[in-house]
C-alpha cells in the first residue's frame, strides 16, 4: 500500500488533537466532557477554554479521523473483501479489550463495527459522486436523529450531564480503585455505547467514512488538486463552520448549559459544522503542503500518524497511569488538565521517532497486520 505523507500528517495531527478533549474524560467525571457546568458555573478562564475547544476541536479531529478511516478502506480494497473484513473484525476485538480493560472512551469498537457496515458499499460503488452524496445523507440523517432525541427528551438531567455528589464519589472510587471494579463498571457501560452507535452516532460515522472514501477516490484527500483550489475550499469552509459552531457555543453559554438545550438542541450546530471544519482543516494542509512539508514538526506529525493505532493506545496507557495509578483523577481543573496534554504529546512524538528508526510500522500496526494475514489465510 503506498504511503501518502499528507495523509500520515493529518492522521498524526488528529490523533494528537483528540487528546485535547479526551484528557477531560481521563481526569474528570464523564459529565464534564460536554458540560463545563457539571459541578457549578465554571470560572471565566475555564469558560474561555471550553469555548475555544468547542469551536476548534470538539468533534473536529474525530471527524478528520472518520474521513481518513474511509480513505484507509479505499487503500485496502486491492487486498480483497476478506482481508478488509478480517482487519475490521480484529479492530473490533482490540476496541472491546481497550474499552473494557483500560478506558471507557474507546472509539475502536465503534469504528470497526461501522467499517464492517460500510466497506462493501465503498467497494461496490462505481460512482464517486453518488458515494459522496450517500455519505452526506447518512451524516445528516444522524444529525436528524439527534434532533428527534432532543424533541422527546425530558427536562431532568441525568448523571451523565449533572451528577449528584454520591454519583461523583462513586465514579471517583471506580477510577482510583481500578482492577475488577473498574472493568466491571466499563463492561456495564458497553451496552449504552453500542445503543448510541446503532441509534445515532453510527450514522454520522458511516457518513464520514463514505465521504472520506469518495473524496479519496476523487483524489481530493490525496492533495491532487491545485493549491489555489484547496485555498478556496478552506476560505469558504472554515468561516462557515466556525460561524455555525460559534452560534451553538454562544447559545450554550447564555442558556447556562441548561440540559434540555445544551445537552441536545445546541449540540446540533456543532455536529453540522464539524465535517465542514474537518474538510477545511484538510484543505488548509493541502493548500500549504509544499511549505509545511519542509518543517521538522511536520515530519514528527507524520511519524505519529504512521503509528496512529499505537499512539492512540499509548495515550490511554499514559493517562491511566497519571490519573488512576498516580491518583490525579479529579485533582486538576480543566485548565490544569490542558497543561498535561503537551507532556503526553511529547511521549507520542518521542516514541514514534525512536520506534521508526528501527521498524517500518508501529508495534500494534504490525500486530494488526500479522493477525489479519493469519486469519485471512486460515
Query: To the nearest whole percent, how much of the chain has pLDDT over 70?
Result: 99
What sign for the dihedral angle of Cα 326, 330, 335, 341? positive
Tell me which residue range forms the domain holding 197.
Answer: 5-377
pLDDT at 154: 74
Q: Model's pTM, two decimal places?
A: 0.96
- Is residue 105 within 8 Å of 25, Cβ to Cβ? yes
> In the block, which residue shows the cell 480513505?
71
Q: Largest Cα–Cα distance in the chain?
A: 59
Using CA atoms, how far apart are residues 346 and 344, in angstroms rounded to an integer?
A: 5
Using CA atoms, how far apart are residues 155 and 206, in angstroms rounded to an integer?
A: 30
For the chain, the domain total comes to 1
What sign for the dihedral angle of Cα 346, 366, 183, 263? positive
pLDDT tens, residue by residue, 234-276 = 999 999 999 999 999 999 999 999 998 998 899 999 999 999 9
pLDDT at 1: 60
CA torsion 349-351-355-360 (nearest 10°) is: -50
* Mean pLDDT value of segment 357-365: 97
Segments of the chain assigned E as strands:
none
pLDDT tens, residue by residue, 365-377 = 999 999 999 999 8
- Composition of the chain by helix, strand, coil, percent to 5: 80, 0, 20
pLDDT tens, residue by residue, 77-119 = 999 999 999 999 999 999 999 999 999 999 999 999 999 999 9
What sign for the dihedral angle of Cα 150, 276, 244, 257? positive
Q: Nearest to residue 13, comparing CAs of 218, 278, 243?
A: 278
What sign for the dihedral angle of Cα 82, 368, 321, 61? negative
pLDDT at 2: 66
pLDDT tens, residue by residue, 162-200 = 999 999 999 999 999 989 999 999 999 999 999 999 999
Q: How many Cβ atoms sit within 10 Å of the Cβ of residue 305?
A: 25
- Is residue 200 within 8 Å of 145, Cβ to Cβ? yes
Amino acid at each position: 500500500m503506498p504511503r501518502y505523507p499528507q495523509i500520515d500528517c493529518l492522521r498524526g495531527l488528529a490523533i494528537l488533537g483528540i487528546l485535547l478533549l479526551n484528557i477531560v474524560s481521563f481526569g474528570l467525571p464523564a459529565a464534564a466532557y460536554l458540560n463545563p457546568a457539571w459541578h457549578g458555573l465554571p470560572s471565566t478562564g475555564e469558560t474561555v477554554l471550553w469555548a475555544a475547544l468547542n469551536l476548534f476541536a470538539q468533534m473536529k479531529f474525530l471527524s478528520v479521523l472518520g474521513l481518513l478511516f474511509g480513505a484507509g478502506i479505499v487503500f485496502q480494497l486491492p487486498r480483497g473483501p476478506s482481508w478488509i473484513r478480517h482487519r475490521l473484525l480484529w479492530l473490533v476485538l482490540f476496541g472491546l479489550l481497550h474499552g473494557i480493560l483500560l478506558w471507557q472512551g474507546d472509539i475502536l469498537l465503534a469504528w470497526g463495527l461501522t467499517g464492517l457496515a460500510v466497506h462493501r458499499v465503498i467497494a461496490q460503488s462505481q460512482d464517486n459522486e453518488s458515494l459522496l452524496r450517500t455519505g452526506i445523507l447518512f451524516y445528516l440523517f444522524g444529525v436528524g436523529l439527534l434532533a428527534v432525541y432532543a424533541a422527546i427528551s425530558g427536562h431532568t438531567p441525568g448523571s451523565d450531564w449533572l451528577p449528584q455528589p454520591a454519583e461523583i464519589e462513586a465514579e471517583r472510587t471506580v477510577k482510583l480503585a481500578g482492577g475488577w471494579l473498574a472493568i466491571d463498571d466499563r463492561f456495564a457501560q458497553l451496552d449504552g455505547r453500542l445503543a448510541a452507535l446503532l441509534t445515532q452516532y453510527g450514522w454520522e460515522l458511516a457518513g464520514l467514512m463514505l465521504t472520506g472514501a469518495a473524496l479519496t477516490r476523487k483524489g481530493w484527500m490525496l492533495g491532487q488538486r491545485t493549491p489555489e483550489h484547496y485555498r478556496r475550499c478552506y476560505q469558504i469552509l472554515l468561516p462557515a463552520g466556525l460561524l455555525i459552531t460559534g452560534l451553538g457555543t454562544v447559545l450554550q453559554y447564555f442558556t447556562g448549559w441548561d440540559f434540555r438545550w445544551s445537552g441536545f438542541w445546541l449540540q446540533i450546530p456543532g455536529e453540522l459544522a464539524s465535517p465542514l471544519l474537518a474538510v477545511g482543516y484538510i484543505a488548509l494542509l493541502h493548500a500549504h503542503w509544499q511549505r509545511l512539508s519542509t518543517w521538522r514538526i511536520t515530519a514528527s506529525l507524520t511519524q505519529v500518524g504512521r503509528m496512529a493505532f499505537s499512539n492512540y493506545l499509548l495515550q490511554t496507557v499514559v493517562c491511566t497511569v497519571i490519573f488512576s495509578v498516580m491518583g490525579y483523577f479529579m485533582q486538576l481543573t480543566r485548565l490544569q488538565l490542558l497543561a498535561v496534554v503537551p507532556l503526553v504529546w511529547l511521549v507520542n512524538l518521542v516514541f514514534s521517532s525512536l520506534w521508526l528508526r528501527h521498524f517500518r510500522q508501529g508495534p500494534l500496526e504490525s500486530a494488526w497486520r500479522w493477525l489479519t494475514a493469519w486469519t485471512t489465510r486460515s
